[in-house]
Structure 1
């Protein structure tokens, strides 16, 4: 669906604004191409003429351009997430800083997410399978229909415009478009150097320079439409053509071209994700290629070898999503009050709020071990936290938890702490219908991160964003929680009561605030859910999952510690 279509009519502002507010401009004005045409004398020593022949040098397509007199309208289509559902980095896989690193072109010697063609080629099930079926399901069908209408409109110049590099993506983009039988008069990707030796400081500068050449060449076009999903680019185009038409109306440009109507259409972002396994494999390949260039001294001196590491927020008995809805139905909210700040969880039973040492993992059967549980009671703590008490089935099953009682945090209100579940002393029994029995799998809640390789760092240490976490390196004898063997269900290291410990040595869940501090980690949803495929076995097709667009650089990555994001600065945020 197309959103926010805005029609911009040319009109002039008074000279007062121009004299009094020269510094007022959009964020793109500083880097945008001038609206004035390049003089016929030279641009960097080369003659410039606004002809069909010179304009064709901007296009990677083979089609001949129509005559100037034949064109009355110009239609510009963006490629990524406007026409084609290009995959974006998965927030459920990478932490916040790593998402910024992937988007930045200078972190990897061979370019980042938007500069490595292997990522776009991996869309869906890969180019070999997707090309014969024209990448079915990976198009914005509304925009496809508009492109087809533009193809039928004989007096319209049909242009595909993308900021992807001409060198790395021209052939792949043309193959994708051709598979869908879409035809454009011009297929324009960003060149390293423009036809007149221009150098572009940004994608917007490139696009504005090309658009200027198009409107100066097709002087009889009266209508220009641009379809774009990026909000900043939409604003940049509107600002650019506002100034362009203003200059035309005031006679500030050495041309007889008449002002024209511009419509910049804000398109709803059509972002998708790769299959998670494929995504990690592609990024690992990027890291490997980067590291080879660094170690063979073919990279800038500032480049360092990179490594994919994991940040483990907690280890637990992971509850399947099919059971989560049933468990959250046990939450009894008060009849009055606001519910907007309540977050439903019911996704795990805690083992350790950190990477689990091998000694404990061995005792619970290792990653992937299955344990069956039964709900025995529910409770609410200070109207901020709702929890369920569980026991293994059969009761003699071996399990481990750093909580004194195996507990599921069902829901939490903003300001509540998952650690408060250990303070619950009054549990209410449940009916037979509410005594749900379900199977769990030992697993980790984690995100991946991209960091410099660290010498002499073992696997356990690498799971912490800050090495001070890893220096402790818990050995096989460090079990400060509650281990329950098959012979008895009594806690091994402390008394089984619900009283809060008086000292940090008890290592209650969330009770030890002296636990090491380190870098924050982002928190994505449990899985890469999407409209098509979702998990690792599917095609990986999914919407962006809400939130702002991921078209970001490292400059956009700030301290985004939003509600519900686990981070190592808050020991209560591992859920």
Structure 2
């Protein structure tokens, strides 16, 4: 506040001085013409900005992506490639004006502000002026939106100010606007983040108090909260872009040498279970079957998307026997059963009946739905199985895949944390027996156990289905739990990053600030731990890799020299095109369909 007052005394508020805050390069309207000021935030107010996807990254990694103190080159909010990757990428989206990525209600309000002769129309964002001015101008211009002022946070303000946070910058910007357009009697600010809504209200209340103290009339001020519309990138695109962030960071580490945040980084994955993944269309058929057989069932959380293989990364010998990752397998639905009406499941048999398969459960089954308090491992307790009528039974195909989440760690981090994760998520309580566990082997009709001394799993080459009691085993228990990917890790990353932060609030349901994401002096509240649940269905990163045959990802600017390619298991970087072309291309036709959230991408089913 003292800084603003000092600047007010030493610098006159003129149109020329105000224009230095803007990247719009427009002639400002005369002071006497403006009666109202309309200020619009950009991210998730005007434009549906993609956020880090909590179904891809564990909670600590969401925090790492949000903070500017881990990556030398910034992070999610500080690299324009992330914003440029929205939809199918800037080169394609500009031609159709980023159709489907706007908050249409706010767009309409901006158009009304543009038509109002006595209104000053302002776009104000905490994105950095150096990194985002050209991209944001292209985005708004593609939609035909015109602002009198476009304010992005500069590294140094027009009066040599430095801004420790986005809110400090925005308040200084608004003080310059109101100080210049003294005849304005009204200001409206549209903002999605509750913290910034409160900050603007406090600032405007203080501003009016100062106006009254010097004998001026207060301005009518209104701060309008905007509901956040969370979106994400295509998952393959997102991982490729994060890998690029890591590649740039690692290159800078090599050039600059070791410093407080100079550790090379890498992406690793935590596998929660391996299973036969069921395609979405077949999931719908299974749920429809449940509803037709048990029409009065209510209050269920539907699953119907996997048949357990192992509750951990599948051992190579087992994976080889069942055909390897991404191999196909057909199944026929034969029984449906429940446990006290709290969990419903379908038993299945392989097609053909003598096909080789593996499951750590007593028999292959699909959990169809759960009530609150039930857990997928309870499928092993079901004893009451009812045959499916022949006219209702059907055959569906599955793909062998893993449910996993990705995490960012230092390259020198010891181990890949498979064991520690699965001690937490897979094996907890796994020794508890269900009634009848001791007679397990006597009930495996025709089972071929092979050498199962340590694991005691069930590998089958049944000649038929073997409809015994369904088993009472708990072997698959932990693998379904999924659990909390970062419980106990609400602070920084495991790799010991300084300032790694705690993220925003709840992943895609709240996001961190842009340039004031978190300072060591003013840490913000953390991301809620990201839950990995058994029923999360998400496209896979397996199946050709990013930029491989058939991929349709966005183009990206070329960096010189070329950076290392992302590890194969996470997809390669997209083909590198030239710098963003000059604005151009026809506007989207009125009939153009809106872009789906997340943009295009391969229909891959085993990524979580």
Give your verdict on TM over 0.5: yes
The 3 A distance-change label for structure 1 pair 199 and 464 is farther
User: How far did residue 271 of structure 1 move?
Assistant: 3.1
Does the CA contact (< 8 Å) of 1:222 and 1:260 recur in 2?
yes
Q: Quick one: distance in 2 between partners of 1:200 and 1:484?
A: 65
SS of aligned partner of 1:105: coil
User: How far did residue 187 of structure 1 move?
Assistant: 0.9
User: How far did residue 185 of structure 1 move?
Assistant: 1.3
TM-score, length-scaled by structure 2: 0.72
Residue in 1 aligned with 2:351?
393
Q: Which moved more, 1:365-374 or 1:263-272?
A: 263-272
Does residue 452 (structure 1) correspond to residue 428 (structure 2)? The answer is: no
The 3 A distance-change label for structure 1 pair 455 and 488 is farther
User: How far did residue 217 of structure 1 move?
Assistant: 1.4
Does the CA contact (< 8 Å) of 2:36 and 2:186 recur in 1?
yes
Q: Quick one: distance in 1 between partners of 2:506 and 2:281?
A: 19
Does residue 295 (structure 1) correspond to residue 271 (structure 2)? The answer is: no
Does residue 212 (structure 1) correspond to residue 175 (structure 2)? The answer is: yes
User: How far did residue 499 of structure 1 move?
Assistant: 4.8
Residue in 1 aligned with 2:526?
557
User: How far did residue 35 of structure 1 move?
Assistant: 10
The 3 A distance-change label for structure 1 pair 297 and 469 is farther
Does residue 426 (structure 1) correspond to residue 384 (structure 2)? The answer is: yes
User: How far did residue 165 of structure 1 move?
Assistant: 0.5
Residue in 2 aligned with 1:482?
458
User: How far did residue 397 of structure 1 move?
Assistant: 1.2
Does the CA contact (< 8 Å) of 2:335 and 2:385 recur in 1?
yes
CA distances 1:172-197 after superposition (whole Å, capped 9, x unpaired): 11122222222211111011122222
Does the CA contact (< 8 Å) of 1:311 and 1:521 recur in 2?
no
Does residue 404 (structure 1) correspond to residue 349 (structure 2)? The answer is: no
Does the CA contact (< 8 Å) of 2:336 and 2:347 recur in 1?
yes
User: How far did residue 465 of structure 1 move?
Assistant: 6.4
SS of aligned partner of 1:296: helix
User: Of 332, 342, 347, which residue of structure 2 is paired with 1:374?
Assistant: 332
Does the CA contact (< 8 Å) of 2:506 and 2:529 recur in 1?
no
Q: Quick one: distance in 2 between partners of 1:118 and 1:146?
A: 28
User: How far did residue 299 of structure 1 move?
Assistant: 5.8
Residue in 1 aligned with 2:278?
319
Does residue 179 (structure 1) correspond to residue 127 (structure 2)? The answer is: no
The 3 A distance-change label for structure 1 pair 440 and 545 is farther
Residue in 1 aligned with 2:496?
none
The 3 A distance-change label for structure 1 pair 203 and 407 is same
CA distances 1:394-433 after superposition (whole Å, capped 9, x unpaired): 2111110000110111112222222221122221112224
User: How far did residue 498 of structure 1 move?
Assistant: 4.5
User: How far did residue 154 of structure 1 move?
Assistant: 2.0
Q: Quick one: distance in 1 between partners of 2:44 and 2:59?
A: 21
Q: Quick one: distance in 2 between partners of 1:248 and 1:500?
A: 76
The 3 A distance-change label for structure 1 pair 511 and 51 is closer
User: How far did residue 442 of structure 1 move?
Assistant: 0.9
User: How far did residue 76 of structure 1 move?
Assistant: 0.7
TM-score, length-scaled by structure 1: 0.76
Does residue 286 (structure 1) correspond to residue 254 (structure 2)? The answer is: no
The 3 A distance-change label for structure 1 pair 511 and 347 is closer
Does the CA contact (< 8 Å) of 1:310 and 1:447 recur in 2?
yes
Q: Quick one: distance in 2 between partners of 1:518 and 1:141?
A: 35
SS of aligned partner of 1:38: helix
What are the equivalent positions in structure 2 for 1:185-334 lying under 5 Å apart?
Answer: 185-249=148-212, 251=213, 254=214, 256-298=215-257, 300-329=259-288, 330=290
Does the CA contact (< 8 Å) of 1:465 and 1:518 recur in 2?
no
SS of aligned partner of 1:123: coil
User: How far did residue 138 of structure 1 move?
Assistant: 2.1
User: How far did residue 391 of structure 1 move?
Assistant: 0.6
User: How far did residue 303 of structure 1 move?
Assistant: 3.3
What are the equivalent positions in structure 2 for 1:135-154 lying under 5 Å apart?
Answer: 135-154=98-117
SS of aligned partner of 1:368: coil
Q: Quick one: distance in 2 between partners of 1:484 and 1:134?
A: 55
Does the CA contact (< 8 Å) of 1:349 and 1:407 recur in 2?
yes
Residue in 1 aligned with 2:555?
none
Which runs of 5 or more residues in structure 1 are unaligned?
1-32, 42-46, 502-506, 523-543, 568-574
Q: Quick one: distance in 2 between partners of 1:136 and 1:511?
A: 43
Q: Quick one: distance in 2 between partners of 1:518 and 1:265?
A: 36
User: How far did residue 40 of structure 1 move?
Assistant: 5.1
Does the CA contact (< 8 Å) of 1:293 and 1:299 recur in 2?
no
SS of aligned partner of 2:284: helix
Q: Quick one: distance in 2 between partners of 1:227 and 1:559?
A: 26
SS of aligned partner of 1:131: helix
Does residue 437 (structure 1) correspond to residue 395 (structure 2)? The answer is: yes
Residue in 1 aligned with 2:475?
508
User: How far did residue 521 of structure 1 move?
Assistant: 10
The 3 A distance-change label for structure 1 pair 517 and 75 is closer
Residue in 2 aligned with 1:531?
none
The 3 A distance-change label for structure 1 pair 214 and 62 is same
Q: Quick one: distance in 2 between partners of 1:518 and 1:136?
A: 35
User: How far did residue 207 of structure 1 move?
Assistant: 0.7
User: How far did residue 114 of structure 1 move?
Assistant: 0.7
Q: Quick one: distance in 1 between partners of 2:340 and 2:476?
A: 18
SS of aligned partner of 2:96: coil
Q: Quick one: distance in 1 between partners of 2:178 and 2:398?
A: 62
Residue in 2 aligned with 1:124?
87
Residue in 1 aligned with 2:585?
none
Residue in 1 aligned with 2:37?
74
Does the CA contact (< 8 Å) of 1:225 and 1:263 recur in 2?
yes
User: How far did residue 247 of structure 1 move?
Assistant: 3.7
What are the equivalent positions in structure 2 for 1:85-164 lying under 5 Å apart?
Answer: 85-164=48-127
Q: Give the length in aligned residue pairs.
A: 487
What are the equivalent positions in structure 2 for 1:53-64 lying under 5 Å apart?
Answer: 53-64=16-27
User: How far did residue 246 of structure 1 move?
Assistant: 3.4
The 3 A distance-change label for structure 1 pair 123 and 77 is same
Which runs of 5 or more residues in structure 2 are unaligned?
428-450, 490-504, 519-523, 537-607
Q: Quick one: distance in 1 between partners of 2:134 and 2:419?
A: 41
